[in-house]
Amino acid sequence: MTWFRCGGSGIPAALKNRMNAVLDKKFGTAVDYPAEGWPDDVNLLGPLPEATVSGSIAHITDGADEVPIKSWQVTLPASLDGYSSVDVVRCGKNLMNQTFEIGSVSESTPVGSTYAQLKIASTKRGRTEELVPIPKAGRYTFSCASPYKLFLCYFDQDQRYLRTYRGWSGVQTFYVDFSNTEKYVGIAFKIDEATDITSDDFDAIHLQIEYSDTASTFEPYSGTTYTVNLGRTIYGGTVDIVNGTGTDENNKFAVTPDMSDSILYIGSGNTAYIQINKTPASNGRWQDLACSHFTPANIYAGGTQQGIGCYSAQFYIRDSRFTSKQDFLDFLTEQETLGTPLEICYKLATPTDFTFTPITPTPETALGTNNFWSEEGDTTVVYRRDIDLALQAVSSSRGLMMTRPAIEPSNGDQGSEESTENNIETEGEEDAR
- pLDDT per position as a tens digit, 192-208: 544 555 556 666 678 88
Q: Can you give the pTM of this predicted structure?
A: 0.76
Amino acid at 351: P
Quick one: which H or E segment has residue 327? Answer: helix 325-338
Cβ atoms within 10 Å, residue 212: 17
> What are the backbone angles phi and psi of residue 432, rounded to the nearest 5°?
-65, 140
CA angle 78, 79, 85 (to 5 degrees): 110
Cα-Cα-Cα-Cα dihedral sign, residues 191, 193, 195, 199: positive
Give the residue-averaged pLDDT of 183-195. Answer: 68
pLDDT at position 109:
35
Higher pLDDT, 188 or 416: 188
- The total of other beta-carbon atoms located within 10 Å of residue 426's CB is 11
Residue 41 predicted with pLDDT over 50 = yes
Listed residue (13, 207, 233, 175) closest to 100, CA to CA: 207
> Is the pLDDT confidence value at 304 over 80?
no
Using DSSP's 3-state secondary structure scheme, residue 202 falls into helix
Please state, in angstroms and rounded to a whole number, the distance separating the CA atoms of residues 164 and 111: 13
Which helix (H) or strand (E) is 387 found in, with range? helix 387-395
Higher pLDDT, 289 or 120: 289
- How far apart (Å, rounded) are the C-alpha atoms in residues 388 and 27? 9
231: left (phi over 0), alpha (psi -120 to 50) or beta: left
CA-CA distance, 312 to 323, in Å (whole number)? 24
Average pLDDT of the residues of the chain: 77
Given this model, what pLDDT does residue 230 score? 97
Q: Is the Cβ–Cβ distance between 48 and 64 less than 8 Å? A: yes
pLDDT at residue 19 in the model: 81
Task: Give CA–CA dist 108/103, Å, rounded.
Answer: 14
Tell me the pLDDT band of 179, cut-offs 50, 70 and 90: very high
**What is 9-42 written as a DSSP string?**
TBS-HHHHHHHHHHHHHHHT------GGGHHHHH
Window from 68-82, 216-230, 272-286, 397-411 with minimum mean pLDDT: 397-411
Task: For the chain, give every domain's residue range.
Answer: 13-44, 50-92+223-244+356-385, 100-221, 248-354
Distance CA 411, CA 404 (A): 20
What is the DSSP pairing of strand 368-374 with strand 271-277? Answer: unpaired
Record: fold of 50-92+223-244+356-385 = Jelly Rolls (2.60.120)
Q: Which of 121-125, 127-131, 265-269 has the lowest mean pLDDT?
A: 121-125
C-alpha span between 366 and 81 (Å, rounded): 35
- pLDDT value for 431: 32
Do the beta carbons of residue 285 and residue 330 sit within 8 Å? no
